[in-house]
């Protein structure tokens, strides 16, 4: 296509424009682990990064490459590396880029497993500060001479705090820090971290991008905004072979994916790629449903508090309006003291009691007893997570069915 097209049109035509065999509209699922070359020089050139191509599927394959190029387009980036899960992508990014003796600043409201993996890195000697990233002042105060990276998320799970994304981006630019933004909760349809000067964007493809709860995957995208030539953590051997703007993402592919081994399977890449085609449609619907549910719950006498950026009393409501196209599909709420949370949840029929988020189906989970159980009551209190909190990932069901399901569940317990 000659002219720049919109978000969904571009996604729908991306595979076809790679000209797969027989005019296929989808990139085929390439299951080959390895590729054969007629001339050994061609194999050598792929190994030495002198020619494009595939040598061994652990570090890349045509099916995952097609998905990566779509994510790059969606995120306004220059290159993407895909992984078997979002956690593999996060693990690989830190592992590939952060050197001994350097310091990382991370949001204290990070996704539980991200916080857990960073904590494991601290046990291996890495210096990490966790700060409340809803104000850039806390990030600034945590900066040390050896700080190399800031890791933030867009909307936190489960209490929906929004990081001071723009101001942190300005700070990272000024200080030359690698700015990693986990965009999972918003997805590139709602927000592109490129716009706040992120260096790297992480997505769990398992969530909104795949969208159907049928495949795990993760990705890291380089926005092209960070000057890797000046970063001391880049391996000398790469500096000799790779264009400066691709040094960071290449090191993630080599050390994070090739050496780490968290490779996305081609079958999963295909499912995620097909799922991504309807990202815009699904998000319009689930964010609309989320807004309606938030308003309903917020005015219900048995509800103590609703956490949703679309509500005017949310602490970062104005920021959410400014930065995001929609306020997201995730919300949490706390029932009034003394109400049996489990009894309430067990009365829901349309809404499924389940982990995961970003599915087409609405999923609910009691937070303190599950995803934040390991933290214990003290850390939960510090993080502002009530013991009776329920997290909802709102799906694309017919709105009346969702509202009626909640009405019925409230009636059953009152
Ligand atoms: C789910 C999630 C991850 C991890 O992704 P997986 O694909 O489940 O490994 C990382 N970050 C955020 C914000 C998430 O919601």
- Domain termination site, one of 256, 276, 296: 276
Residue 207 lies in a domain: yes
In this predicted model, what pLDDT tens digit does every residue of 79-125 receive, in sequence order?
999 999 999 999 999 999 999 999 999 999 999 999 999 999 999 99
On whether both 265 and 315 belong to a single domain, the answer is: no
Secondary structure (DSSP) of 259-299: TT--PPPHHHHHHHHHHHTTHHHHHHHHHHHHHHHHHHHHT
On whether both 259 and 287 belong to a single domain, the answer is: no
Q: What gap in Å lies between CA 310 and CA 319, rounded to an integer?
A: 10
- Domain termination site, one of 276, 309, 331: 276
Judged against a pLDDT cut of 60, whether residue 259 lies above it is answered with yes
Query: What average pLDDT does the chain have?
Result: 96
Judged against a pLDDT cut of 90, whether residue 42 lies above it is answered with yes
Judged against a pLDDT cut of 60, whether residue 1 lies above it is answered with no
Name every residue whose Cβ is closer than 8 Å to that of residue 351 and which is 6 or more positions away in sequence.
362, 363, 364, 392, 402, 405, 406
On whether both 247 and 313 belong to a single domain, the answer is: no
Cα maximum dimension of the chain: 76
Pick from 115, 184, 220 the residue to mutate for probing ligand 1's pocket: most ligand atoms within 8 Å of its CB: 184
Name every residue whose Cβ is closer than 8 Å to that of residue 92 and which is 6 or more positions away in sequence.
81, 83, 220, 252, 255, 256, 257, 260, 262
In this predicted model, what pLDDT tens digit does every residue of 362-397 receive, in sequence order?
999 999 999 999 889 998 888 889 999 999 999 999
The verdict on the CB of residue 85 being under 6 Å from ligand 1 is yes
Residue 91 lies in a domain: yes
User: pLDDT at position 21, please?
Assistant: 94
Pick from 87, 94, 275 the residue to mutate for probing ligand 1's pocket: most ligand atoms within 8 Å of its CB: 87
Q: How far, in Å, is the centroid of ligand 1 from the Cα of 204? A: 5
On whether both 159 and 180 belong to a single domain, the answer is: yes
Show the beta-strand stretches assigned E in 308-381.
Answer: 330-335, 352-353, 363-366
* β 389-393/330-335 pair status: antiparallel
Q: What gap in Å lies between CA 234 and CA 250, rounded to an integer?
A: 10
On whether both 230 and 316 belong to a single domain, the answer is: no
On whether both 261 and 142 belong to a single domain, the answer is: yes
In this predicted model, what pLDDT tens digit does every residue of 176-204 receive, in sequence order?
999 999 999 999 999 999 999 999 999 99
pLDDT-derived band at 154, boundaries 50, 70, 90: very high
Q: What is the Cα 43 distance to its own chain's centre?
A: 34
Judged against a pLDDT cut of 70, whether residue 128 lies above it is answered with yes
Residue 1 lies in a domain: no
On whether both 207 and 337 belong to a single domain, the answer is: no
Residue whose CA lies nearest to ligand 1 atom number 4 = 86
Question: What's the structural domain count of the chain?
Answer: 2
Read off the CATH number of the domain in which 358 is found.
3.90.1150.10
**Contact assessment for residue 153 and residue 163, using Cβ atoms and an 8 Å cutoff:** yes
Nearest to 63 by CA among 247, 311, 342, 271: 271
User: What percent of the chain is modeled with pLDDT above 70?
Assistant: 99
Q: How far, in Å, is the centroid of ligand 1 from the Cα of 388? A: 23
Residue 18 lies in a domain: yes
* Number of neighbouring beta carbons within 10 Å of residue 408: 13
On whether both 163 and 46 belong to a single domain, the answer is: yes
On whether both 314 and 408 belong to a single domain, the answer is: yes
Q: What gap in Å lies between CA 145 and CA 21, rounded to an integer?
A: 53
Half-sphere CA count of 372, side-chain side, radius 13 A: 26
Number of residues assigned to the chain: 414
Q: What gap in Å lies between CA 156 and CA 147, rounded to an integer?
A: 23
Residue 59 lies in a domain: yes
Q: What gap in Å lies between CA 187 and CA 7, rounded to an integer?
A: 12
Residue 2 lies in a domain: no
Mean pLDDT confidence for 124-134: 96
- Domain termination site, one of 243, 276, 309: 276
**Contact assessment for residue 272 and residue 204, using Cβ atoms and an 8 Å cutoff:** no
Nearest to 67 by CA among 271, 283, 282: 271
Mean pLDDT confidence for 212-234: 97
Mean pLDDT confidence for 318-326: 98
H-helix or E-strand spanning residue 178: strand 178-182
Judged against a pLDDT cut of 80, whether residue 254 lies above it is answered with yes
The verdict on the CB of residue 216 being under 6 Å from ligand 1 is yes
Judged against a pLDDT cut of 70, whether residue 2 lies above it is answered with no
pLDDT-derived band at 49, boundaries 50, 70, 90: confident
On whether both 258 and 320 belong to a single domain, the answer is: no
The verdict on the CB of residue 185 being under 6 Å from ligand 1 is yes
Q: What gap in Å lies between CA 388 and CA 334, rounded to an integer?
A: 6
Q: How far, in Å, is the centroid of ligand 1 from the Cα of 184? A: 7
User: pLDDT at position 382, please?
Assistant: 83
Judged against a pLDDT cut of 60, whether residue 208 lies above it is answered with yes
Q: What gap in Å lies between CA 267 and CA 265, rounded to an integer?
A: 6
**At 304, phi and psi to the nearest 5?**
-85, -45
Read off the CATH number of the domain in which 246 is found.
3.40.640.10
Mean pLDDT confidence for 324-333: 98
Residue 232 lies in a domain: yes
User: pLDDT at position 251, please?
Assistant: 98
On whether both 270 and 372 belong to a single domain, the answer is: no
Rg, the chain, Cα only: 22
In this predicted model, what pLDDT tens digit does every residue of 156-166 receive, in sequence order?
999 999 999 99
Judged against a pLDDT cut of 90, whether residue 310 lies above it is answered with yes
User: pLDDT at position 414, please?
Assistant: 86
- Report which of residues 2 and 359 the model is more confident about: 359
**At 185, phi and psi to the nearest 5?**
-70, -25
Domain limits for position 254: 7-276
On whether both 354 and 382 belong to a single domain, the answer is: yes
Q: What gap in Å lies between CA 76 and CA 3, rounded to an integer?
A: 16
């Amino acid at each position: 296509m000659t002219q720049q097209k919109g978000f969904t049109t571009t996604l729908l035509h991306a595979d076809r424009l790679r000209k797969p065999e027989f005019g296929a509209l989808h990139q085929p699922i390439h299951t080959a682990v390895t590729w054969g070359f007629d001339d050994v020089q061609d194999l050598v050139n792929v190994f030495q990064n002198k020619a494009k191509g595939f040598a061994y599927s652990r570090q890349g394959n045509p099916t995952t490459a097609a998905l990566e190029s779509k994510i790059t387009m969606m995120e306004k980036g220059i290159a993407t590396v895909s992984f078997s899960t979002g956690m593999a992508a996060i693990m690989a990014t830190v592992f590939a880029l952060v050197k001994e003796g350097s310091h990382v600043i991370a949001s204290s409201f990070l996704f539980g497993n991200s916080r857990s993996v960073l904590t494991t890195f601290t046990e291996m000697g890495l210096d990490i500060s966790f700060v409340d990233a809803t104000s850039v002042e806390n990030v600034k105060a945590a900066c040390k001479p050896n700080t190399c990276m800031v890791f933030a998320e867009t909307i936190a799970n489960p209490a929906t705090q929004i990081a001071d994304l723009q101001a942190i981006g300005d700070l990272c630019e000024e200080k030359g820090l690698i700015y990693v933004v986990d965009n999972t909760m918003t997805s590139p349809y709602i927000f592109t971290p490129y716009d706040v000067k992120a260096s790297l964007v992480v997505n769990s493809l398992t969530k909104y991008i795949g969208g159907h709860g049928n495949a795990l995957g993760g990705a890291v995208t380089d926005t092209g905004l960070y000057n890797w030539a000046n970063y001391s953590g880049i391996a000398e051997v790469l500096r000799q072979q790779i264009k400066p703007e691709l040094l960071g993402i290449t090191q993630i592919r080599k050390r994070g994916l090739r050496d780490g081994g968290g490779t996305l399977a081609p079958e999963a890449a295909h499912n995620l790629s097909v799922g991504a085609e309807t990202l815009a449609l699904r998000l319009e619907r689930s964010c609309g449903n989320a807004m309606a549910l938030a308003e309903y719950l917020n005015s219900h006498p048995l509800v103590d508090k609703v956490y949703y950026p679309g509500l005017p009393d949310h602490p970062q409501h104005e920021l959410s309006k400014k930065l995001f196209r929609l306020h997201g599909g995730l919300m949490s709420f706390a029932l009034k003291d003394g109400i049996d949370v489990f009894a309430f949840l067990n009365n829901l029929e349309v809404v499924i009691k389940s982990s995961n988020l970003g599915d087409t189906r609405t999923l609910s989970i009691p937070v303190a007893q599950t995803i934040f159980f390991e933290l214990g009551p003290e850390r939960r209190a510090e993080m502002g997570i009530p013991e009776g909190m329920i997290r909802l990932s709102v799906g694309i069901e017919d709105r009346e069915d969702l509202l009626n399901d909640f009405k019925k569940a409230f009636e059953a317990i009152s």
